[in-house]
Amino acid sequence: EKDLLEHNEKLRSDPNFDPGFRQLADMSEVSEIHVSSNLIKRTAQDQCFTPGVRRAFIAKPGAVFGMARMYALHAESLGQVIEVFRDRGSAEAWLGL
């Protein structure tokens, strides 16, 4: 939980972070979720990326994939563009990498 809450703050304080960067977050090795849906919603509302920037999450089918989709849906209300993929190739293609 602490890691999730600190993630955006670490990005914001990094002088090399550009909020216009595209993001690829690979969660394919994550096997368990130990956070509540309320925390997912709260962190999705705390965005440091520029609205409209493409961000791709990779997750295996199951709970991690579902939570990533929940995060993406909540972040969409702030203009965030996040898609969740099951494989790296599809995510990279969507990001134009």
pLDDT of res. 52: 97
What are the start-end ranges of the H helices in the chain? 2-13, 37-44, 63-76, 88-95
pLDDT in tens, 39-91: 999 999 999 999 999 999 999 999 999 999 999 999 999 999 999 999 999 99
Tokens of 44: 């999705």
pLDDT in tens, 24-33: 999 999 988 8
pLDDT of res. 2: 76
pLDDT of res. 7: 86
DSSP 8-state assignment for residue 50:
P
34 CB-contact burial (10 Å; exposed 0-12 / middle 13-18 / buried 19+): exposed
pLDDT of res. 6: 87
